[in-house]
Amino acid sequence: MTTPYAPYPTGRPRRLRRDAFTRNLVREHRLHAHDFIYPVFVLDGEKRREDVASMPGVARLSLDLLLPVAERCLQLGIPYLALFPVVDDPHKDATGSEAANSEGLVPTVVQALKKRFPELGVMTDVALDPYTSHGQDGIPDESGYLLNEATIEQLQKQALCHAQAGADMVAPSDMMDGRIGAIRRTLDAAGCIDTRIMAYSAKYASSFYGPFRDAVGSSKSLGKSNKKTYQMDPANGNEALREVALDIAEGADMVMVKPGLPYLDVLWRVKQAYQMPTFAYQVSGEYAMLKAAAANGWIDHDAVMMESLIAFKRAGADGILTYSALEAAQWLQDHQFVG
């Protein structure tokens, strides 16, 4: 249904754009620091900071250096951090067994963050790729095809150890069939009834994840192989609705579409179809593109960053996982009444 509107010259859409105060009044969507989830990369040890070359402004940090970042999120009003571990090679194997180590890096960091900043939400990634010697998100058979059920068993253990360490939300990003229901049952059976699940429901086999794989160190393990037997085909839209429907039926509290800008149509359709809390992940490659173009003086970084973030809101996102969360929240603080 389109809104009836007087034709020109009675109707003049430019009237509403004539001055900043009117634009401010009729603006349909707004960004707020509460819209952001900030993904961070964490390393073992102390005083370790390693810049990620393909993601200017992003670094892998040890816990002691992550704590001030968490504090900054709180100051800016960012409600959640999303933790991604960088695992040293000796801890990687074919089944990603380190993923379920309750004394491993992620549970340790979750515990420390929740102890120090109980009012900051901590979300963890449930997937095996940072822990596997082959860089895949699950356990392969002899031919390299990922075993769905064996992988889920491992993910259940991983999610439980994150929840028991105090994670407020677990986010399965692996795209195995049936994992949301399995994880929900495991969490509930252990009494973790309030641990939320944000499902990476429509996650595409995207080449925009390249810089992330550099950051967690899975690109060299992955080599020339890809994730097309479990992550979605970028050519498919209807299939995303089926994936999301399954995750909701299995108990997902929130759903996600990933990557972000290239998949705004999918985000829109998912929000329209199910009206669930729906999130977009502006992924590493999207972040890298903006930074690279800005570094060349080809675009105005902050303007393009804010424009891309508001696009997610317009397309129906309730929130956005973005490596620009700190910068964007700072921008919002500095430009509160911009028109």
Both tokens assigned to 311: 């696009």
The single residue among 63, 283, 317, 326 that binds ligand PBG, judged by CB under 6 A, is 283
In the bound complex, which residue of the shown chain has the CB atom lying closest to ligand PBG?
212
Q: How is residue 141 annotated by DSSP?
A: -
Q: Is 243 in the site for ligand PBG (CB under 6 A)?
A: no
Piece of 4-12, 99-107, 124-132, 139-147 that binds ligand PBG (CB under 6 A): 124-132
Catalytic residue among 92, 203, 227, 291: 203
* Nearest distance in Å: CB 212, ligand PBG: 3
* Nearest distance in Å: CB 245, ligand PBG: 21
| Subset of 168-207 contacting ligand PBG (CB under 6 A) | 173-174
Active site residue 258: yes
Integer-rounded Cα radius of gyration of the chain: 21
* Nearest distance in Å: CB 74, ligand PBG: 23
The single residue among 61, 81, 97, 129 that binds ligand PBG, judged by CB under 6 A, is 129
Q: Is 284 in the site for ligand PBG (CB under 6 A)?
A: yes
Q: C-alpha distances in angstroms, 148 versus 76, 126, 156, 213?
A: 40, 14, 12, 22
Strand partners, 257: 202, 280
Contact assessment for residue 205 and residue 233, using Cβ atoms and an 8 Å cutoff? yes
Q: Is 213 in the site for ligand PBG (CB under 6 A)?
A: yes
Active site residue 224: no
Contact assessment for residue 70 and residue 113, using Cβ atoms and an 8 Å cutoff? yes
Contact assessment for residue 200 and residue 169, using Cβ atoms and an 8 Å cutoff? no
The span from the CA of 270 to the CA of 177, in Å, is 19
> In which element (H, E) is residue 187 found?
helix 179-189
Question: For binding to ligand PBG (CB under 6 A), which residues are involved?
Answer: 125, 127, 129, 137, 173-174, 209, 212-213, 227, 283-284
